[in-house]
């Protein structure tokens, strides 16, 4: 059974993200001498066994393209009051998520990286679907594809939908994020007799393919209620938003359309998605080093600019405070 990691083992807490399930922190594990990520899931209500069982399952799901879960957290994070909270402790992915990459680049990455990302996401889904006790992700979206320093993709948040609920009041920001999740849901979700299947993940993978290729979010800023009405009617993200003439893009677009078919039975299985994207990635593999290096340089430059901007803001605040102290 998974053991709890408590406050005494962690130091240097820093918020690095937030969402409908609560905040995500970076902290230093004293005994392990490394940084970890902690995602808060819910308040401790005394019923911890389901959480521990789920995290044990996640720890056993070990793959190069699935996030490594290190244990369960139980304690009081900084500025959280006296309430004990529960969460999951994971390896820290220094480059953030696919969503943050898209925001930083303001568009899609170079084609070799596009084809590697779609293949690695397929590898992660196929691994989860192939376990002795198959795991359905059920929340595939750019925010749940994390990137290591070399921009390799790993899936996160698989299985958490069964055990999490918000540790804070839902904000307007959370509502928007929830709406974003709706954009990746298959049409059968909106029926009264829906039961999750592997094909549910495959539909979401198809929408995610579109997002990776275009660098955009599906359906833009359309109202979530309207999206929920139109998806079962066959509406999908616009293929006209796919720009460029990369080798293999036609085949990838066909796979995308098969994945988001309205009928679950007509969607390909994860293994087929994996083998097809593997062949497409091979067409671009020789150029992957240069593509990754190009993106890393852009990300590092943006990170430096952010630090400089924050320092200027701090200096301005300090200067203003000094002026006011003499008035």
Give residues with Cβ within 8 angstroms of 95, minimum separation 6.
Answer: 101, 146, 147, 148, 149, 151, 299
Written as six digits, the tokens of 294 are: 């190009």
The residue-averaged pLDDT of 255-262 equals: 98
Report the pLDDT value the prediction gives residue 199, as an integer from 0 to 100. 96
CA 73/CA 39 separation, integer angstroms = 9
Lowest mean pLDDT among 23-27, 47-51, 112-116, 141-145: 47-51
State pLDDT tens for residues 212-247. Answer: 999 999 998 888 899 999 999 999 999 999 999 899
Written as six digits, the tokens of 136 are: 């359905």
Q: Does domain 10-91 have CATH number 3.30.360.10?
A: no
Decide if 213 contacts 252 (C-beta within 8 A): yes
Decide if 94 contacts 25 (C-beta within 8 A): no
Lowest mean pLDDT among 85-94, 100-109, 227-236: 85-94
CA 21/CA 19 separation, integer angstroms = 5
Is 149 annotated as belonging to a binding site? no
Average pLDDT, the chain: 86
User: Out of 35, 106, 139, 315, which one is annotated catalytic?
Assistant: 139
Decide if 90 contacts 37 (C-beta within 8 A): yes
The residue-averaged pLDDT of 33-46 equals: 82
Report the pLDDT value the prediction gives residue 43, as an integer from 0 to 100. 72
Higher pLDDT, 76 or 121: 121
CA 238/CA 255 separation, integer angstroms = 15
CA 322/CA 327 separation, integer angstroms = 9
Q: How many residues are recorded in the chain? A: 327
| 220 dihedral zone (left: phi>0; alpha: psi -120 to 50; beta) | left
Is 144 annotated as belonging to a binding site? yes
Q: Does domain 96-166+178-288 have CATH number 1.10.510.10?
A: yes
Decide if 114 contacts 152 (C-beta within 8 A): no
Report domain extents, the chain.
10-91, 96-166+178-288
State pLDDT tens for residues 271-306. Answer: 999 999 999 999 999 999 999 999 999 999 988 988
Report the pLDDT value the prediction gives residue 24, as an integer from 0 to 100. 87
Active site residue 300: no
What's the whole-model pTM score?
A: 0.86
Report the pLDDT value the prediction gives residue 125, as an integer from 0 to 100. 96
């Amino acid at each position: 059974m998974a053991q709890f990691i408590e406050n005494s083992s962690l130091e240097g807490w820093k918020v690095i993200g937030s969402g409908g399930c609560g905040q995500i922190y970076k902290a230093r594990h004293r005994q392990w001498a490394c940084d970890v990520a902690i995602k808060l899931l819910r308040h401790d209500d005394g019923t911890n066994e389901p959480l521990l069982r789920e995290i044990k399952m996640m720890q056993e799901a070990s793959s190069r393209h699935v996030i490594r879960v290190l244990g369960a957290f139980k304690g009081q994070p900084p500025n959280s009051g006296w309430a004990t909270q529960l969460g999951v402790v994971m390896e820290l992915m220094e480059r953030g998520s696919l969503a943050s990459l898209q925001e930083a680049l303001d568009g899609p990455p170079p084609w070799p990286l596009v084809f590697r990302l779609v293949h690695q996401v397929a590898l992660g889904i196929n691994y989860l679907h192939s376990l002795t006790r198959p795991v359905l992700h059920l929340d595939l979206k750019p925010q749940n594809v994390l990137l290591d320093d070399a921009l390799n993709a790993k899936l996160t948040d698989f299985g958490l939908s069964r055990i999490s609920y918000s540790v804070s009041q839902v904000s307007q920001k959370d509502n928007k994020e929830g709406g974003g999740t709706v954009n990746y849901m298959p049409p059968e979700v909106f029926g009264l007799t829906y039961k999750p299947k592997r094909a549910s993940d495959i539909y979401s993978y198809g929408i995610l393919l579109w997002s990776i290729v275009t660098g955009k979010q599906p359906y833009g800023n359309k109202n979530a209620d309207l999206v929920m009405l139109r998806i079962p009617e066959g509406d999908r993200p616009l293929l006209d938003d796919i720009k460029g003439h990369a080798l293999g893009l036609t085949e990838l677009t066909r796979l995308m359309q098969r994945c988001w078919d309205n009928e679950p039975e007509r969607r390909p299985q994860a293994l087929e998605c994996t083998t097809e994207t593997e062949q497409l990635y091979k067409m671009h593999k020789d150029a992957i080093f240069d593509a990754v290096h190009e993106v890393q340089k852009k990300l590092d430059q943006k990170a430096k600019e952010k630090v400089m901007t924050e320092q200027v803001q701090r200096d301005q605040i300090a200067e203003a405070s000094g002026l006011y102290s003499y008035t």
